[in-house]
């Protein structure tokens, strides 16, 4: 399954990770951007949109030796950094990273509207990383107009000011977000897949970038499962029950931060006529990073031809929205109902 972890590191800096290969875009020099800590990250590759100190500090990236090929191809072109053809601030590079069927565009410090040819290249990208703060780049309204021209699935703003940091001469983030009726606050990382719902997403700068790895059919250690279930407050699952449940599951989908189990989803059923999805859990400190969505997307893709995929969950607005965005339908909308029996009803 095509999948890219997009982690925001502050200002215009992002880390893209797929298949164990990391790429950092636009690292900033220590102390350059008010409010941001020194940047230190490991990666296999680094790209800079232009040679200003808040975008080109490659020394902040420790390059990892690898024999792995880059899991993407890059399409790039030069644009002016300003509205005067580059006379004031020089030139800028726009890049589209093609990860299989997923396309991620980083516009750098673009300073003027798109040409017709550029609009065509960017049309329908899956994720658009776009500057919104003005002064050095396009401003909030120009960014919204540009995003509407491109029609991306996910819009992530960058190069703005907040109450805690950013260049004082550029605009606050809310000058951009107030232009949209709904904006999602999503932690520091988005796990982008083909099933990621359309959204405007604000990410918070990450303090570190653990390597996320997803696996199918891996059997986690019982101690890892106990930690995960305890973090979710699911005390009904004793170690003996967890061990039996996972041993008898049809499949297990896991997410790992380094060697630590940070997310899990298991499937129960015959794998042909019905699959029941159970226990979608993400470790507290890794929530709001798209991990749950990525695990669910993996399971739905794995069982795309199964006659019925079913789950039972809490009836709250957030859970209904989450599973609805993933393409699942509430039973009542299909003229169905659900019946359930719990061995200990007082411990649901």
Does residue 178 lie within any of the structural domains? yes
pLDDT tens, position by position, 33-83: 999 999 999 999 999 999 999 999 999 999 988 888 999 999 999 999 988
Last residue of a domain, one of 175, 202, 229: 202
Q: What is the CATH number of the domain that holds 172?
A: 3.60.15.10
Name which of 82, 129, 87 is nearest 104 in CA terms: 129
d(CA 25, CA 12): 8
Assess whether 261 and 297 both reside in one domain.
yes
Mean per-residue pLDDT, 167-196: 91
Does residue 248 lie within any of the structural domains? yes
Q: What is the CATH number of the domain that holds 338?
A: 3.40.630.30
Assess whether 222 and 182 both reside in one domain.
no
- 293/38: higher pLDDT: 38
**What pLDDT score does 258 carry?**
81
pLDDT tens, position by position, 115-166: 999 999 999 999 999 999 999 999 999 999 999 999 999 999 999 999 999 9
Assess whether 236 and 191 both reside in one domain.
no
Q: Provide CB contacts within 8 A for 201, sequence distance 6+.
A: 154, 155, 156, 183, 184, 185, 186, 190
Assess whether 114 and 236 both reside in one domain.
no
Last residue of a domain, one of 144, 173, 202: 202
Helices 291-302 and 317-325, axial angle in degrees (round to 10): 50
Does residue 340 lie within any of the structural domains? yes
Q: Which sign does the torsion angle of CA 344, 237, 263, 37 carry?
A: positive
Does residue 333 lie within any of the structural domains? yes
Assess whether 198 and 217 both reside in one domain.
no
CB 277 within 8 A of CB 323: no
Q: What percent of the chain has pLDDT over 90?
A: 69
Assess whether 68 and 191 both reside in one domain.
yes
pTM reported for the whole predicted model: 0.79
Does residue 207 lie within any of the structural domains? no
Assess whether 172 and 217 both reside in one domain.
no
The SS3 call for residue 71 is: coil
How would you list the strands of the sheet with 127-131, edge to edge?
73-80, 91-99, 102-106, 127-131, 154-158, 199-202, 184-185
Q: Which sign does the torsion angle of CA 114, 116, 121, 127 carry?
A: positive
Assess whether 117 and 175 both reside in one domain.
yes
Which domain, by its residues, includes 148?
3-202
Does residue 247 lie within any of the structural domains? yes
Last residue of a domain, one of 181, 202, 223: 202
Assess whether 243 and 140 both reside in one domain.
no
Sequential DSSP letters for 218-229: ----HHHHHHHH
CB 118 within 8 A of CB 107: no
pLDDT tens, position by position, 72-127: 999 999 999 988 888 999 999 999 999 999 999 999 999 999 999 999 999 999 99
Assess whether 112 and 16 both reside in one domain.
yes
- Name the band, by pLDDT with cuts 50, 70 and 90, for residue 307: very high
Assess whether 46 and 173 both reside in one domain.
yes
CB 281 within 8 A of CB 234: yes
Assess whether 183 and 246 both reside in one domain.
no
Joined together, the tokens standing for residue 241 give: 């029950």
Helices 239-247 and 222-231, axial angle in degrees (round to 10): 110
Q: How many domains does the chain have?
A: 2
């Amino acid at each position: 399954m095509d999948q890219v972890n997009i982690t925001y590191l502050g200002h215009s800096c992002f880390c893209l990770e797929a298949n164990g290969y990391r790429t950092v875009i636009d690292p900033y020099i220590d102390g350059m951007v008010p409010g941001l800590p020194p940047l230190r990250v490991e990666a296999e590759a680094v790209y800079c949109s232009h040679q200003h100190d808040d975008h080109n500090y490659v020394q902040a990236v420790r390059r990892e030796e690898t024999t792995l090929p880059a899991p993407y191809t890059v399409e790039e072109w030069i644009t002016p950094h300003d509205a005067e053809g580059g006379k004031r601030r020089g030139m800028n590079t726009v890049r589209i990273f093609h990860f299989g069927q997923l396309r991620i565009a980083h516009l750098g410090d673009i300073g003027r509207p798109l040409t017709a040819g550029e609009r065509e290249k960017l049309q329908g990208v899956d994720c658009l990383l776009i500057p919104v703060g003005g002064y050095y780049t396009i401003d909030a309204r120009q960014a919204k107009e540009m995003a509407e021209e491109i029609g991306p699935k996910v819009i992530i703003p960058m190069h703005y000011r907040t109450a805690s940091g950013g260049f004082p001469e550029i605009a606050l983030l809310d000058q951009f977000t107030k232009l949209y009726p709904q904006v999602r606050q999503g932690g520091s990382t988005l796990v982008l897949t083909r099933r990621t719902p359309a959204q405007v997403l604000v990410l918070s700068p990450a303090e570190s970038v653990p390597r996320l790895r997803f696996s199918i059919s891996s059997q986690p250690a019982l101690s890892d499962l106990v930690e995960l279930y305890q973090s979710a407050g699911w005390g009904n699952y004793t170690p003996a029950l967890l061990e039996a449940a996972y041993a008898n599951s049809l499949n297990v989908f896991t997410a790992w931060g380094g060697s630590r189990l940070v997310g899990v989803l298991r499937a129960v059923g015959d794998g042909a006529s019905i699959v029941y999805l159970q226990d979608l859990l993400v470790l507290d400190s890794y929530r709001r990073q798209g991990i749950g969505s990525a695990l669910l997307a993996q399971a739905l893709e794995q069982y795309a031809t199964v006659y019925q995929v079913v789950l039972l969950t809490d009836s709250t607005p957030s859970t209904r929205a989450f599973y609805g965005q993933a393409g699942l339908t509430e039973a009542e909308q299909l003229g169905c109902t659900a019946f359930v029996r719990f061995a200990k009803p007082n411990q649901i």
